[in-house]
Structure 1
């Protein structure tokens, strides 16, 4: 048996609980381990390896933590031993020695001694292109033991291995970026890209302060301070002081609505153009007519691809005034992900990316593509930006994850700054084991295979989305970088929980997206099993298939008590006061949307809670937003809350309809996320309208110009006049299988005429 050891505080050696792994590599010669790996892979390729977890994990009445403690004791013991460490992860201890393909073994064994295995559709956070324990990789690692046994500081001590990696990178370098710099992580790659473009501006502009970098809403580029400045995921960035750099709207491609896609692209390009011509200098001229002329010229050029790009760029640049050129030099770079991975597998159109490339060329601003996640084949192209057929290559590309290290590909122009000794430096310049893994797989990449694998997985997801249209929607992606949305974030989390309990690992992205990342060479049988488990997880939520046509709304008790408006008082719900009132708010929410017994058999549920009902954690998150506004009505006689309404700025939310809201990204729209009125009073509509009017007044006073919400159609029909007259942007029948129709609407917050 192989045992791991850790020194305790007195310096003695103690065995870590849960550390025994049967048949570990350390207990057998390398040759035997290679033979076992070969047998495992043969079993996997023959379809004989399946997801295998204790059936007891499906007990929905018990928490996952409780079930793991009882039924996966080795995992539980390992986590307990590490409990003083600060980390968040899946709640089981994996055993790489028994993993194969996309099947990840854990340290726990079934009664026959076989390892439990989870089917991983997260590709280890997109870091692994191929399956676990690939025989070629295992053999390469064993043959490279000298490089594994001693980690060299490559910044001064290059090895045969590190030099071979650098030579092999020439084979896969993106067009136009023949130079490369090796670091350790994706965040380091982005950080060095930031440093290079800032230094470029310091050396070439009059201001000498480096300027700023423009990035996109929804972007995730890392957690170092520089990369956080260009990251616009709230949870990652909140609370950390960093550079005050601007971001613009990411124009998500909406295949079902080409006009909406064009509107988004126009808004994004205009936001970028404003930054280019103004340099963020107050009162700088930003003529709409000039913008229109420049964009029309770009459109005309792109419509005739035989034209010479350099000549066009030179002619357009010559039209810029000296002041505009000087101000545009404050823009150090534009940084964009070809597909936003952590942001929710969000894609922009090739048309937009081509315009972006030409516009940055005209203003002589470097364009950086962050391909940390998308690079090296994941989208069916070697580099994801190749999907766009750009008129000229970008200036920098960052890559990591499947590189097993971090890599920065650089144009010749920007490579100049890397050639000054130690100006750009990192002690390790990559990890040797990661180098061995990548080199062992370089010749295995088959882009046609990636496309075939992705097509099979996507076809299965499309079928599920069609069958469960009230649950899954918007299947999207390229190659094996796939994702789909659920209608609410809390429902997404419940789905991931149900899938995990059945042995399927799915990872979240954005607010409502679930990633579905097959390995490049994943067997069809494994893809089909993943889809089958996903279906069962959905069925767990649904609680039994019932045709949507027969679904009826939950029954609401008819109240017998009327509460006059002059007997209620308004309670302000602020970030400071919400905690004191949260249980009263939850009581209103629960009574309005009822216990599970009130709903049809197939209503979606999270545990015992119907998913139409907001969980307290979601409401708390909204209440803590800086621009949150909330009001509640308290009955002065009983002292009880009888209604509430709560929301915050539109950009803080990702509910159904938000991403296609025409005001998204303008930071002038209030989103009413939640409202509920006790159904046990006769004048519930009167109270409902009163609380909505009170919220509207406060949103108007806070400077918001519009109010958007996803709300019951019944509330709109009986609501205040401003709500009844609101524009309906989307209508959702049988929302969350509740039997209710919801509408996404938007109302202008105009001041009433005196």
Structure 2
């Protein structure tokens, strides 16, 4: 009897294991094959160099009426699929840059194509709403079932915007308004002096407040966000800016896990500088005005893929809380899964949440998460005509659902660990030795980077990879940043590593 029961239990367990294995195979097949059944298995190269003649011709035509000097090549988006980007000449490349880290679930994803055919999407496209004044009947449901399902821990309000720069810009405005509201206390109305002086861009109506940011930071190109941006001079030249304070980003060594003690000292120095900047900003005669908010990227992306430890960011939260400074986490590039967590700051395990989390890029929609206490005191104060875009919000909802349906964040984390391990060997022992260095992104999903020995080596490597059928991008002075999509798998990683080894061997 006991043996019979044991046999029955064993058969049941075997059936369960078989079902689980089949489910795993189906899951893998869904991501690898079902979404993009026609995805190439290798690059297809038509021209010896990219951009080819058709790309150059089309770019030149664009250049007649619009700036074209930053063009890499002209893209045939209709023929791009999954992880592969096609150009005007018919070249097809493995895309490791993804529209500057902005494509989450692949080119021409069938889930998004199906969405575009729905009545809901067509109505939103044909009748763009001025959301701040005339939201559509489905706006509440749309936001709650999309952006609302991935709210960062502790934040329950959502401000929708148009792009990453304006997400940060409006977060700045919200922090300034909330800071002054806190100073006023129970004073409900603005004074006549405030009302009159602000029309002359003078205090007290236009107060001398500031945003604290870091060297090498990139937060956008509008006036406020550009004032907090410190990555490249070319972004800022000839543009008037606010005289806001800046603190040196900690000079850490990689891998972080092997240099923890030394890095902790560098981060301690940076945290002390942050506190000093905040305290000094509140002294009489400060050239900056009191710091109302601090803005920080989880990984400084445009500035060179610069990392820091979770302890550093917890230190920032402690200092900002201590001094009543709002903390803005700029997740425009790091958000939506690429780091192996939906929000990169999730990995910090903060004791209290940031006050604002901004987003754009992979979300396709843009804006920031916050709480009701940082809403303005009156309507029309943080406002514009569009206040976002329903079509992009529909896209964001589908992107989130596709990510969740296929466990793409978890998959990206695993693929990233695989690439990191292989790249370590390439850089330390293989073709990259003496040519590239400072691999970073350990336990950060596919959000990886390494430096060329010189800027020239970096630039040449990117062009050699393009000739071999892999599209990559740079950042900072000499970094190569990897920004594949969330549908990037081990087979794509193996192809990338093969081409990288060959390109490094040719340098």
TM-score normalised by the chain length of structure 1:
0.55
Counterpart contact for 1:205–1:329, Cα < 8 Å: no
1:370 corresponds, among 330, 343, 346, to 330
Q: How do 1:241-390 and structure 2 match up within 5 A?
A: 241-254=240-253, 255=256, 256-279=258-281, 281=283, 330-390=290-350
Q: How do 1:24-103 and structure 2 match up within 5 A?
A: 41-44=36-39, 48-54=40-46, 56-57=48-49, 68-69=52-53, 73=54, 75-84=55-64, 85-103=66-84
1:457 match: secondary structure: helix
Q: Relative to structure 1, is the Cα distance of residues 94 and 433 closer, same or farther in structure 2, using a 3 angstrom cutoff?
A: farther
Distance 1:170 1:56 in 2: 47
Aligned residue for 1:434?
392
How far residue 83 of structure 1 moved from its aligned partner, in angstroms, is 1.7
Aligned residue for 2:230?
232
Distance 1:89 1:523 in 2: 30
Q: Relative to structure 1, is the Cα distance of residues 102 and 358 closer, same or farther in structure 2, using a 3 angstrom cutoff?
A: same
Distance 2:351 2:301 in 1: 24
How far residue 389 of structure 1 moved from its aligned partner, in angstroms, is 1.0
Counterpart contact for 1:201–1:330, Cα < 8 Å: no
| Residue-by-residue CA offset, 1:420-461 (whole Å, 9 max, x unaligned) | 211111222223432232221212222211211212222232
Counterpart contact for 1:198–1:210, Cα < 8 Å: no
Counterpart contact for 2:111–2:402, Cα < 8 Å: no
Distance 1:432 1:88 in 2: 32
| Residue-by-residue CA offset, 1:264-304 (whole Å, 9 max, x unaligned) | 212211211212222263699xxxxxxxxxxxxxxxxxxxx
Q: Relative to structure 1, is the Cα distance of residues 162 and 490 closer, same or farther in structure 2, using a 3 angstrom cutoff?
A: farther
Distance 2:95 2:340 in 1: 20
Counterpart contact for 2:340–2:445, Cα < 8 Å: yes
Aligned residue for 2:504?
538
2:436 corresponds, among 472, 483, 496, to 472
How far residue 127 of structure 1 moved from its aligned partner, in angstroms, is 0.8
| Greater Cα radius of gyration, structure 1 or 2 | 1
Distance 1:220 1:338 in 2: 11
| Residue-by-residue CA offset, 1:632-658 (whole Å, 9 max, x unaligned) | xxxxxxxxxxxxxxxxxxxxxxxxxxx
| Residue-by-residue CA offset, 1:473-502 (whole Å, 9 max, x unaligned) | 121121121111111112111111111122
How far residue 151 of structure 1 moved from its aligned partner, in angstroms, is 2.8
2:36 match: secondary structure: helix
Matched, 1:205 2:186: no
Q: Which has the higher contact order (CA 8 A, sep 6+)?
A: 2
Q: Relative to structure 1, is the Cα distance of residues 121 and 526 closer, same or farther in structure 2, using a 3 angstrom cutoff?
A: same
Aligned residue for 1:580?
none
How far residue 142 of structure 1 moved from its aligned partner, in angstroms, is 1.6
| Residue-by-residue CA offset, 1:682-718 (whole Å, 9 max, x unaligned) | xxxxxxxxxxxxxxxxxxxxxxxxxxxxxxxxxxxxx
2:367 match: secondary structure: strand
Counterpart contact for 1:128–1:401, Cα < 8 Å: yes
1:347 match: secondary structure: coil
| Residue-by-residue CA offset, 1:36-87 (whole Å, 9 max, x unaligned) | xx9881132xxx4321112622xxxxxx66xx22xxx3x2332222122113
1:395 corresponds, among 351, 355, 365, to 355
Counterpart contact for 1:141–1:436, Cα < 8 Å: no
Distance 2:437 2:56 in 1: 36
Point out where structure 2 has 5 or more consecutive residues left out of the alignment.
1-32, 185-202
Aligned residue for 2:98?
123
Aligned residues, how many? Answer: 439
2:486 corresponds, among 517, 520, 539, to 520
How far residue 226 of structure 1 moved from its aligned partner, in angstroms, is 0.5
